[in-house]
Structure 1
């Protein structure tokens, strides 16, 4: 009887060890996986990631790209586990999304800076902006703040100092508006399509490129490329030290990608690494 119990005990222990080994092996395989799914936004990121994919492939890492046309979706997809990483946003945008939606996401590496511009179909120079003009800005907190700061930089409005300091400016923080501009908050993706109805509009670089607009040639107000809005690669916090995450960052921050960005975009995009 005791012998039977001992054999049963050994069998159970062996089975448990086998199961644990399988779980551990699966976790290790997940840590060292060689295929990653990355969310990006439409436009120039698609071109850049064609180079990233080639560089990553040399290291045995397959990068699968998922293209989004809405800034609100890539972080939700990453948090839900539908992506392994995303590369479309700067730190202020990520901070706002974490605060608003509770995502547990962290940056693991910088990519590019995409200077923001105001564009127009009606004006060749910002000096031509008429009184009472309709001015489009993004309706998300981070990019809306950024657009308002750029309007202040151009001398068109003045914002409350506290809002500027905290990067939280909204149209309610405008304290002087000499030209009586009408600020029109819209979804970032809608702004290029709304240029017929607006005097000028703040348009993020990826949407501007998709609309055939050139930052260097067409923007009537230009943000400095040395500002605080460097884009980044984000992952779930649990994945920040995984080998595949480091390999993805290394592929992006490679000399080949740097050379492509500098040659292809000629200052409209700037490597942030």
Structure 2
């Protein structure tokens, strides 16, 4: 009996020790996690941001990038509180997302703005496009409007309201070539270029997908304002502890290495600072 009691005490001691060790490890992980800035991103923005992450680490700031392949999950994840910020959307997209979801998110700072283009692997000019040519455009309301404005700039269509950046296909007033629109998720326009006659495209997505030379657009947009600058977005109740996000944004916006990465990834003539 004495031996049994002794064995029980030993087992209890082992269990208690294991619990204590577990709590210590968990507490250390919690502390470590609280010191890490977690940002959800689109893969197409990864390279310049990773340069900023590396530079931040040299300054004692730990940043983790989490990649999302679509344009819905980053806001869902941020609203749920699983990440500190995200970086994939511009203000028109954010405004529309908040209207549709009721999420409590806000812009924290602006990143790079990029031009967009119309690309074709079959034709070298818009005049060569046949009747009923297929055109790939984004299916979300905001970027579809941007695509239609560019098609209007190319004189392929006209819109009922030529200035409306939220137009959709039902707002087309004239379509002389009877273009047939193929609506896909924004990131997929880079891959759709192989299956259509003409595609609206983002240079950085084309470079990532390696489906076309980002510099080869038949036409680039004329936009030079910061409406479509990609934003660092946070929850409305976000508290920037120790100015971690503020410091990271400053590195992104001011680093010569980040600028070089943007030049290499987007093309020196295809992006401009959205924070100026």
Fold match (TM-score > 0.5)? yes
Question: In the superposition, relative to structure 1, how do residues 66 and 241 fare at CA in structure 2: closer, same or farther (>3 Å)?
Answer: closer
CA distance in structure 2 between the aligned counterparts of 1:152 and 1:114, rounded to whole angstroms: 19
Instruction: For 1:130-149, list aligned pairs within 5 A.
Output: 130-149=130-149
Q: CA RMSD in A?
A: 2.3
Q: Which runs of 5+ in 2 are unaligned?
A: 1-29
Aligned to 1:184: 182
110-119 or 147-156, larger mean C-alpha shift: 110-119
CA distance in structure 1 between the aligned counterparts of 2:94 and 2:61, rounded to whole angstroms: 26
Equivalent residues of 1:262, 1:270 under 8 A apart = no
Equivalent residues of 1:261, 1:271 under 8 A apart = no
Equivalent residues of 1:132, 1:182 under 8 A apart = yes
Instruction: For 1:6-45, list aligned pairs within 5 A.
Output: 33-43=34-44, 45=45
CA distance in structure 2 between the aligned counterparts of 1:194 and 1:82, rounded to whole angstroms: 32
Give the CA deviation at 1:133: 0.6
CA distance in structure 2 between the aligned counterparts of 1:187 and 1:87, rounded to whole angstroms: 18
Aligned to 1:93: 93
Give the CA deviation at 1:241: 5.0
CA distance in structure 1 between the aligned counterparts of 2:262 and 2:204, rounded to whole angstroms: 14
Equivalent residues of 1:106, 1:240 under 8 A apart = no
SS for the counterpart of 2:193 is helix
Equivalent residues of 1:262, 1:271 under 8 A apart = no
Say yes or no: does 1:260 pair with 2:261: yes
Give the CA deviation at 1:237: 1.1
Equivalent residues of 2:145, 2:164 under 8 A apart = no
Give the CA deviation at 1:190: 2.8
Aligned to 2:222: 224
176-185 or 249-258, larger mean C-alpha shift: 249-258
Which residue among 260, 270, 273 is the counterpart of 1:271?
Answer: 273
Aligned to 2:49: 49
Give the CA deviation at 1:229: 1.1
51-60 or 63-72, larger mean C-alpha shift: 51-60
Equivalent residues of 2:190, 2:202 under 8 A apart = no
CA distance in structure 2 between the aligned counterparts of 1:204 and 1:260, rounded to whole angstroms: 17
Which residue among 168, 171, 177 is the counterpart of 2:169?
Answer: 171
The number of residues matched between the two structures is 241
63-72 or 196-205, larger mean C-alpha shift: 196-205
Question: In the superposition, relative to structure 1, how do residues 70 and 258 fare at CA in structure 2: closer, same or farther (>3 Å)?
Answer: same
Equivalent residues of 2:123, 2:197 under 8 A apart = yes
Give the CA deviation at 1:259: 4.0
**Length-normalised TM-score, structure 2:** 0.80
